Amino acid sequence: MNRPISSQSLPPGSTNVLGLNEIAHVLQQAFDKKEWTWARDAWQSLVDHHLADCGTELERCRSGIRFIGLLDFYADWYEIAFEDTFHVDYAHIAQQLMVLPHLSLLIGDKPEYADYEHDAECLHDALRFLAHEVRSEIVAALKTHYGNTSGFFVALWNSNKLPRPTDFEAKTEKYETERFLYQGTADEILNESVEEKLAAWMWLEQGAGSLDD
């Protein structure tokens, strides 16, 4: 008789952590190239907080949901901080991370998502529901990793920007019209008051809940 899926070990050759090596191809698809550095750092922090452990198949699926949860969180950050859209293809990412075969166990007894195998919109909603469920533990781990709300905010603000060229400070006029493309210092980011920064700061400080809630 087969054991319950929750206690089934991973196939031979699998690791017990959904680390950066295992997630690299999905991360590079999900994030823009200039965001890879932040995304890798953020995921590694979740690994370090044991949120990517996967000793069983079901645990691996939960870790996959946490990666989707990281994307879902970043999409909300993008909307509130940059007033722009960060597209997340929930179903494609779930398929890449092999979450779908055990999705019913993760969803549990929730009739509104019962038809996810036959309804693309239902599947999308189910994955977003699961991503929202893990939001608080992801945010807590990231805030700890970056030290406090200020460190967290600075890392996120710089996440979609390029590192400053080596001559950035010496040739300010050269880069004046393109400053927004490059990462700022903590002092510059935290002391420059703009409306979207205040809204994003308050959102982070209050727990960074889903914008849909």
Kindly report, residue by residue over 155-175, the tens digit of the pLDDT: 999 999 988 776 666 566 666
Task: Record the tokens describing residue 97, joined without a space.
Answer: 């991370």
Of 39 and 8, the one with more pLDDT = 39
Q: At residue 134, does pLDDT exceed 70?
A: yes
Per the prediction, the chain carries an average pLDDT of 88
Of 45 and 196, the one with more pLDDT = 45
Which residues, at least 6 apart from 186, have a Cβ–Cβ distance to it below 8 Å? 150, 151, 154
Q: At residue 122, does pLDDT exceed 60?
A: yes
Name the nearest CA neighbour of 62 among 30, 94, 29, 14: 94
Distance CA 103, CA 133 (A): 14
pLDDT above 70: percentage of residues in the chain: 87
Q: How many Cβ atoms are within 10 Å of 1's Cβ, its own excluded?
A: 2
Q: How many Cβ atoms are within 10 Å of 173's Cβ, its own excluded?
A: 6
Hey, is 56 helix, strand or coil? strand
Q: How many Cβ atoms are within 10 Å of 61's Cβ, its own excluded?
A: 25
Q: At residue 26, does pLDDT exceed 90?
A: yes
Mind listing the pLDDT tens digit for each residue in 43-99? 999 999 999 999 899 999 999 999 999 999 999 999 999 999 999 999 999 999 999
Q: At residue 15, does pLDDT exceed 70?
A: no
For 131-149, what is the mean pLDDT? 97
What local confidence, expressed as pLDDT, does residue 162 receive?
A: 85
Distance CA 17, CA 12 (A): 14
Distance CA 174, CA 69 (A): 39
pLDDT above 90: percentage of residues in the chain: 68
Task: Record the tokens describing residue 40, joined without a space.
Answer: 């890798």
**Measured in Å, how far apart are the chain's first and last C-alpha atoms?**
43
What radius of gyration, in Å, describes the C-alpha atoms of the chain?
19
Q: Where are the domains of the chain?
A: 10-213
What local confidence, expressed as pLDDT, does residue 24 receive?
A: 96
Which residues pair with residue 9 across a beta bridge?
56
What local confidence, expressed as pLDDT, does residue 173 receive?
A: 66
- Angle of helix 57-82 relative to helix 120-133, nearest 10 degrees? 90
What local confidence, expressed as pLDDT, does residue 171 receive?
A: 64
What local confidence, expressed as pLDDT, does residue 164 receive?
A: 77
Task: Record the tokens describing residue 58, joined without a space.
Answer: 């079901």
Name the nearest CA neighbour of 108 among 96, 98, 116: 116
Q: At residue 193, does pLDDT exceed 90?
A: no
Per-residue pLDDT band at 12 (split at 50, 70, 90): very low
Q: What's the predicted TM-score (pTM) here?
A: 0.89
Task: Record the tokens describing residue 116, joined without a space.
Answer: 């996810």
What local confidence, expressed as pLDDT, does residue 169 receive?
A: 66
Q: How many Cβ atoms are within 10 Å of 93's Cβ, its own excluded?
A: 21
